[in-house]
Amino acid sequence: MKPETIILTNSESETLDVARSLGKTLSAGVVVALTGDLGAGKTVFAQGIAESLDIREQITSPTFTLINEYRGRLLLYHMDLYRLDSTREIEDIGIVDYLYGDGVCVIEWAEKLRELMPSNTIAVSLRPSGKTHREIQIERNDRQ
C-alpha cells in the first residue's frame, strides 16, 4: 500500500468533493472499501463517487437490498454489508463476483469483507469529529 492520505472536511459538501475527486481516478474493476461507524458519512462518500461517474440517480444506502447497480460513465455497484454477519453469508449471496466484475464497487461496512478483498482495493475510513466534520483516511494499493 502507498502511504495513506488523511483529509479533514468541515461539511458534507467538502466530503462530497473529496469523494468526487477520488471517483474521477477510478477505473472498472476497482473496489472502494468504506469503513466507519453509523453516521460517519459512508453513504455521502458513495454519492460523491457516483456523481463523478456521471450517475444522476439518487444514491441511497442499500441496507435492505444489499446491492444497488447504477449506470454512468462506468457501472457502479453500491453495497451495504451492515446486515450481514459472516463471510459465509457474503459468499453465499454472490458479492464476491462483483469484486472481480466490470464496474466500480463501493462497499459500506467493508470490514466485514476484509479477508475476501481483492488487491485492487482503495480503503477509505471515515471518522466524524462533530456533526459535520470528518477525518477521511484514503489508502491506495500500489497497483492503482
Domain range for 22 is 14-128
The reported pLDDT for the residue numbered 20 is: 98
How many structural domains comprise the chain?
1
- pTM for the full predicted model: 0.92
For the chain of 144 residues, list the mean pLDDT of each consecutive stretch of 10.
Answer: 80 96 96 94 96 95 87 96 86 87 94 86 93 92 53
User: CA 108 to CA 26: how far, in whole Å?
Assistant: 17
Inside any domain, residue 5: no
Which stretches within 24-60 are classed as H helix? 42-52
Residue 35 lies in a domain: yes
In a domain, 91, yes or no: yes
CATH code, 23: 3.40.50.300
Element (H, E) at 125: strand 121-128
Is residue 70 in some structural domain? yes
Considering the domain boundaries, does residue 65 fall inside one?
Answer: yes
Written as nine digits, the cell of 106 is 463501493
Cα(50)–Cα(56) distance, integer angstroms: 8
